[in-house]
């Protein structure tokens, strides 16, 4: 929806002036900034989605309190919050959720954040207290980064914009190692030293007089913990309508699986005007990569929904797509799905769409992954709280068969419970390659809020970790960056706070035995009439084919890395043979290095 930035200190004005244009893709409709009497400078670019008039442009100032807000996102329950404020004799000048958020925070402060439903990253200046509050939603749908140095405080929707204003913002080697281990970087760390991400759900209160963080906590919305009386059918329809209200047309990212098909089916029943977009891989070396698009076309035909099939470029053109992907992500990310999304979302924007719905989050909420089902069969086994055992599993160094046996006894709340399924590379292989001996540790602070009303079990803890880490720090991050690169707002109905609460409650009532999205299928029996893929492939991409088709590109990438004096040459170049030997683990590592090489080259050009 928007891009925000600002700060206080000697360089804050220059930071905003020099970098606000860099957020143009996040907000092409307007850009503006204000400098307050205390020296605080706040800037914003806007993608006008709600009340698209100039009166709702940002930064927004409350003339009565002198409080100021810059806000990126969408508050879906803003009309309900507006009525609450009107009942307190508070008046409004716009129809925007921005003004509602500004006045709600002015009235209730940090305590009011738990009432918000939606996606957000904002900076709120409280004039009377001379404090700045910066915060993000619990699922990390919108980004926010900051740095505090002797020069002052700066924040931005884009981490790299802070780099040249932070004295030591060199490569964060621990974050780099984590990227090689799991394919992305966990908040609050970033690829740069001394530049931090606001954690998902985190609220920071900063005293602007001394730049001290006076309050720091994770806040979760009330609606994610309070049981409601509505059934899933009504909740899901409401989630779709909340995300499409005031929009005459929207796009849907469509696959051949259950999640996007349910959105398509219900949107059609609601009489909404939308077009489904599907990705195909005509240049793939394996036909299985196109089974998803064929199924999507059949489903759309069945539902009488408009469907546009977007073809992925040839393998030889992947280096060009990679350049845009790196620019959009602003950091290295191993997931090749992002390249397909770059092409798909570009076409969606070209067709004049501003709003996109996706099925992201359904698997994490309704137990849709095979790992959830496999783990449910191990619930009867005792947990062995042995740190050495957990460390061995996290390292990824042991024999896979042995690791599988030992994993069955790991504690459900341990890092090993999640990392066993998500590791890309072993600790040993990364140490040989880089000399860095770093083991991944999960950001456990995020889990507490999500676990509040859910009993502990191997499956429930794994699902909550999936939601708090993978969805918030990889999937939603990638979705936001790539959609915003094309000035599109991406929204995910399954990530409605009320649906998350319903999903976990429904699964818990059956002791997590009703996995594989059975809750969804039972509630929407018409899904059984659709030609859904039994095993959805989604946007899985032919990475091996891409690498084999671009031998010089791969060699040039490795040559660039070899020149950085960060890698062992022997192990580095050995990886180039992996795609030809059907060595999948090494192929993924090679792909992550090619991505990193592109990112590092782009950094050197800045």
What is the model's pLDDT at position 453?
A: 64
Contact 360, 479 (CB under 8 A): yes
Alpha-carbon span 260 to 257, nearest angstrom: 7
The pLDDT of residue 539 is above 50: no
Count Cα neighbours of 195 within 13 Å in the Cβ-side half-sphere: 27
Average pLDDT over residues 141-170: 96
Average pLDDT over residues 184-195: 97
Average pLDDT over residues 62-88: 97
Contact 264, 221 (CB under 8 A): no
329-338 pLDDT per residue, tens: 999 999 999 9
Which percentage of the chain shows pLDDT scores above 70?
A: 98
Alpha-carbon span 360 to 494, nearest angstrom: 7
**Residue 14 CB partners (closer than 8 Å, separation 6+):** none
Domain 2-220, second-level architecture: 4-Layer Sandwich (3.60)
Alpha-carbon span 557 to 564, nearest angstrom: 11
The pLDDT of residue 207 is above 90: yes
Average pLDDT over residues 275-300: 90
The pLDDT of residue 286 is above 50: yes
Joined tokens for residue 254: 């469509």
Domain ranges within the chain, ordered by starting residue: 2-220, 232-365+471-529, 380-456, 543-605
Contact 585, 544 (CB under 8 A): no
Contact 599, 323 (CB under 8 A): no
Residue where the block lists tokens 């400098």: 35
Q: List, as one string, the DSSP characters of 70-85.
A: EEEEEETTHHHHHHHH
Q: What is the mean pLDDT of the chain?
A: 94
Beta 145-149 vs 196-197: how paired, if at all?
Answer: antiparallel
Lowest mean pLDDT among 119-133, 350-364, 432-446, 531-545: 531-545
pLDDT confidence band for 538 (50 / 70 / 90): very low
Sign of CA dihedral 568, 574, 578, 580: positive
CA distances from 586 to 54, 147, 334, 558 (A): 52, 36, 13, 14
Partners of residue 456 on adjacent β-strands: none
232-365+471-529: CATH, from 3.30.1370.60, 3.40.50.620, 3.40.47.10, 2.50.20.10 = 3.40.50.620
Strands of the 212-218 sheet, one edge to the other: 60-61, 68-75, 118-126, 131-136, 202-207, 212-218
459-508 pLDDT per residue, tens: 999 999 999 999 999 999 999 999 999 999 999 999 999 999 999 999 98
The pLDDT of residue 197 is above 70: yes
Single pTM value for the model: 0.96
What is the model's pLDDT at position 537?
A: 53
Count Cα neighbours of 457 within 13 Å in the Cβ-side half-sphere: 22
């Amino acid at each position: 929806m928007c891009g925000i930035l600002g700060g206080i200190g000697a360089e804050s004005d220059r930071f905003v002036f020099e970098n606000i244009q860099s957020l143009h893709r996040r907000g092409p409709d307007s850009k503006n900034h204000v400098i307050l009497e205390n020296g605080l400078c706040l800037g914003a670019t806007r993608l006008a989605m709600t009340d698209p008039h100039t009166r709702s442009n940002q930064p927004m100032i409350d003339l009565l309190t002198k409080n100021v807000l810059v806000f990126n996102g969408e508050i879906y329950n803003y009309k309900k919050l507006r009525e609450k404020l009107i009942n307190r004799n508070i008046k409004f000048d716009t129809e925007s959720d921005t003004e509602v958020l500004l006045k709600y925070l002015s009235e209730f402060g940090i305590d009011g954040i738990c009432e918000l439903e939606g996606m957000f990253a904002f900076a709120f200046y409280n004039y009377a207290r001379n404090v700045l509050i910066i915060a993000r939603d619990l699922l990390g749908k919108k980004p926010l980064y900051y740095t505090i140095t002797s020069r002052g405080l700066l924040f931005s929707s884009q981490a790299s914009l802070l780099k040249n204003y932070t004295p030591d913002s060199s490569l964060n080697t621990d974050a780099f190692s984590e990227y090689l281990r799991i394919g992305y970087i966990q908040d609050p760390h970033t690829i740069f030293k001394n530049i931090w991400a606001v954690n998902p759900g985190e609220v920071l209160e900063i005293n602007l007089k001394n730049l001290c963080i006076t309050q720091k906590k994770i806040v979760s919305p009330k609606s994610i913990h309070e049981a409601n009386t509505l059934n899933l059918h009504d909740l899901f329809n409401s989630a779709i309508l909340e995300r499409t209200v005031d929009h005459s047309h929207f796009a849907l990212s469509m696959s051949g699986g259950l999640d996007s098909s349910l959105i398509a089916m219900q949107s059609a029943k609601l009489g909404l005007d939308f077009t489904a977009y599907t990705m195909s891989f005509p240049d793939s070396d394996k036909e299985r990569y196109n089974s998803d698009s064929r199924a999507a076309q059949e489903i759309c035909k069945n539902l009488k929904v408009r469907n546009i099939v977007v073809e992925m470029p040839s393998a030889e053109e992947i280096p060009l797509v990679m350049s845009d992907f790196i620019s959009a992500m602003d950091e290295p990310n191993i997931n090749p799905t992002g390249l397909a999304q770059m092409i798909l979302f570009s076409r969606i924007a070209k067709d004049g769409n501003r709003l996109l719905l996706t099925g992201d989050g359904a698997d994490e909420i309704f137990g849709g992954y095979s790992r959830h089902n496999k783990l449910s069969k191990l619930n009867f086994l005792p947990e062995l709280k042995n740190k050495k055992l957990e460390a061995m599993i996290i390292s990824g160094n042991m024999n896979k068969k042995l690791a599988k046996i030992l994993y069955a006894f790991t504690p459900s709340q341990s890092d090993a419970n999640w990392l066993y399924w998500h590791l890309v590379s072993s600790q040993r292989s990364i140490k040989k390659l880089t000399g860095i001996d770093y083991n991944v540790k999960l950001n456990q602070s995020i889990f507490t809020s999500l676990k509040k009303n859910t009993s502990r079990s191997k499956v429930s803890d794994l699902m909550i970790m999936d939601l708090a880490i993978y969805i918030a720090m990889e999937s939603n991050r990638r979705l936001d960056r790539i959609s915003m690169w094309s000035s599109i707002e991406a929204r995910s109905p399954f990530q409605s706070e009320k649906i998350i609460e319903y999903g976990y409650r429904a699964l818990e009532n059956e002791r997590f035995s009703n996995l594989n999205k059975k809750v969804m299928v039972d509630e929407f029996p018409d899904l059984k009439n659709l030609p859904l893929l039994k095993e959805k492939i989604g946007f899985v991409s032919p990475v091996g084919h891409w690498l084999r088709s671009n031998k010089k590109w791969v060699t040039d990438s490795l040559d660039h890395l070899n020149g950085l004096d960060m890698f062992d040459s022997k192990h580095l170049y050995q990886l180039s043979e992996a795609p030809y030997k059907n060595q999948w683990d090494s192929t993924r590592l090679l792909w992550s290095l090619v991505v990193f090489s592109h990112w590092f080259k782009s950094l050197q050009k800045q």
